[in-house]
Structures are given as C-alpha cells and as structure tokens.
Chains A and B, each alone.
Chain A
C-alpha cells in the first residue's frame, strides 16, 4: 500500500524541530532514517498529519569519545557506525550486532536514534543499549534531560519519550580491556527480525544479558545474570528464562521462543570476544 497524505516539514535546527512537534500537538512524527516509519505508513499503521524530517538538524549528528564516554548523535546511520573504528573500539558490542540489523540497503539509511525511539521489541539496538548501560540525551520544549536505557523502554513501540521530545544523542561508557561481549540471534532469514536474540557483556565475572524478540520489549533477567555471575553453568542457569513472559505468535510460540532464547544465550556466551 501507499502512505496516506501528510505535510513534509524539514526544520534546519533542533529548536525548530521541537517547535514543529509542539505546534502539531501529537499529529506530527519525527522522520529519522524512515526504515521502520515508512513501512508503518505504507501499511497505514501510522498516519501522521505531518512528518518532521530531521536530516538537516546538525545537533543530531557526530560521534565523539570523551571522558570515557562514547557519544553518538541520534541521526548517525548504521552504516556510519559500522565503518567507524572509534565506535567499534569503544563499544565492540555495537560492531558485533550491526551486521544482524536488516540489510545493507536498510543500514544505509536507518539510524540508531530512530531505532531506539521506535522501540520495536525485536530490534537489536535496545538490547545492546541495556547491556552497555547506555543513557539517552533527550530534548523537548522544556529543555534537555538524560534517561538511562533501563528506564526508557516501556513496551512494544512504547518508550519514556513524550510526543514533543527527541532523542538527541546516546551516551555509552567506553569498554575497557576487562569487558568481553557476546551476541547471537536466531532468525528465519539473515537480517530479519529475531525470533529470539541476546546481547551479553562480562566484566570480570559479572554478566549482563539483554534479550530481544522474545517479549514486549528488550529485557534483562536479574536471576539469570546473578546465576551466571556466580559461576553457574549456562545449562543450569537457563531455567531462569521462565521469568520472561514470552511472546506467543504465528512465527513462534512461547515454548519455542524460550528454547531459542536459551540456544542464543549459550552461543553468545561461547562466542564471547573482548
């Protein structure tokens, strides 16, 4: 299908972008890379009265590493992250996960901020952000605020972002040599949304694991992380997965998803890299 009609607006800076969102009072949507929003509009799941294209907003661009923090502008495209040695060194998990995000042609337009703001339950980046203990810089009519990733994702397509707010940047603590990372996902076709996937970090013996594609949002399981951190065998820790309220749909039922989550976790940990 084709998208319904809308006004196309292209603000030159952040203040104008926020002002347009405020002015449209919930009827405008920000357009980042459009790789999820365009399909949703073509399906007519989304029908905003106006699109606020963020392509010219310079404040949303740029990648810096400063004071042990990697700061990624929200409009940074996946392809630019993959090709950025500073990013892949400061946050190796991002480099491991990105080849699994859709395909070349999608990664040439899709942005990190766009994916996080959409918060698809099966997307890779929200889980990566949870594992990396990322924080999001958010701008709105009242100014800016910082919110941690673990307070941001509230459900499928549901976040702590208000309708007139934008993610401006993502802050990630720079990895140190005692960090190692793992990533694995199971899909029907390479690049498709995962039936189950997991991102893992280990610091000394402490594990953080965030699953995606399994429930209504990317999530960590405290009991599972505690068992792994205490030195439990992976196989013995897997029963803690039952704490997840697994999605049950036409692609996979809940029991299958729980089984696949265990397989993904086992493979991710076995393949961990520093």
Chain B
C-alpha cells in the first residue's frame, strides 16, 4: 500500500502532501480528482496516529475540503448559478500556485548559495578622537556657590560610628565562616541524627554566629546533606541528617525548590 510510505509528520502541510502524492503517481495536478489521489490523502489522514491538533488542523481542513468536493461531484448540479469559486478549480489553482512557489524557493536557494561566496567585513570599530564637548554656563560665582554648599553640608567632627557615617571604624574578621559552621554541623549530625537548630550554636551567640549557622543550614539543605522540619511558621526548626525519604517529611522549602525545578522525586 502506498500509504505506508507517507507519514503525516513528514509533510509541511496538506498542499505539500498532495503534491507528493501527485508526484509519486506521476499525474498532472489537474487530474487530481479523476485519480485516487484524494482517496489516498484521506486514508493517510485517517490512519495518522495521535493527531496533534495544532499541527493536524490544516490537514483536517484539507480533508474536509476534499470530501466536500467529492460530494458535490456526486450530487446533481443546482439550478441556480454556480458560486464564483468552484472548490475543485480553486484547489487545483492552489496546488499549482504552491508548486510554483516551491520551485521559486529552489532557485532562490541557488542564489543564496552563490551569494555565500561573496565575503564582506563586519563593521569596523575604530578609536575615534574624543568628542569635543562644549561647556556652557560656567561662571566663577557659580563655582563659589557650589563649594559653599558642599562646605556647609560636611559632617561635624564626630568620631562616633553610630552617629557619624564617615567616622573611622574597625572592621573585624569574621568570627565564624559558613564553611566552618557547615563542617561543624556535619560532624555533630553524624553522631546525633536529629537536632534542634538552636543547639547548633552556643548559649549566648552573637547575631553573626546565628546568621552564619543559618546560612550553613541552607547550604547543607541545598547540597542534600540534610533536610529540615518546621511545624509551624516561626516555630522551632529541626535539623535531620540525610535526604528526606518521602514528601511528608519535607519542609516547605524543599517543596518549593522542586516545584521551581519541575522535578518530582
């Protein structure tokens, strides 16, 4: 059967398929309706597996058109004057027009190939001399006024970093790094599979210490080395070693991560 060789998805559209069938049968486009071509087309469309509506709609429209043409041929001609457009001639015209454009596209391709043998340069970039900028409206008074304004705004002599933004202050080295905290947590969780977040740091922790441990927890979460539970908003956070085994154990944070990445575990 000729139809095995033709798969709908190989074709760019119904006209493409019809021309292929016509070509294979080696008949004239104008003989399309006296041949089996339309039956072959309909058979191919009918047998197409899992039609994707977006791509198939054009093919289906053509199938409907072909069926309409065939049925008109079977019925007696109506006594009133024919429509301006007889669908049969219209389809033949379309097929011939499409064929011509296909051939034109072929010859354009030749032009494209020939043009590829001509090489040009990309736009040059050269260092241009700097543009001359003309400054206007400069006066000595203007300069004096500007200076006075700045002078009046300057901070008072004040060494206290709290009140004076520009006062000198010491910058301390981090007492805790995220790396250290991560290692610490991993070590401790090898012995104790579960622990509360508060147990991670000392009894009177600095803000820096707490924040750094929190960051360490987030990193370990990301790496899948631990997961966490929090029963209610602002409730205590429990750290659990290893990846979560099922969805129920997972924290909201984990779930959102998955949803974002679109993967299911």
Same complex for A and B? Answer no
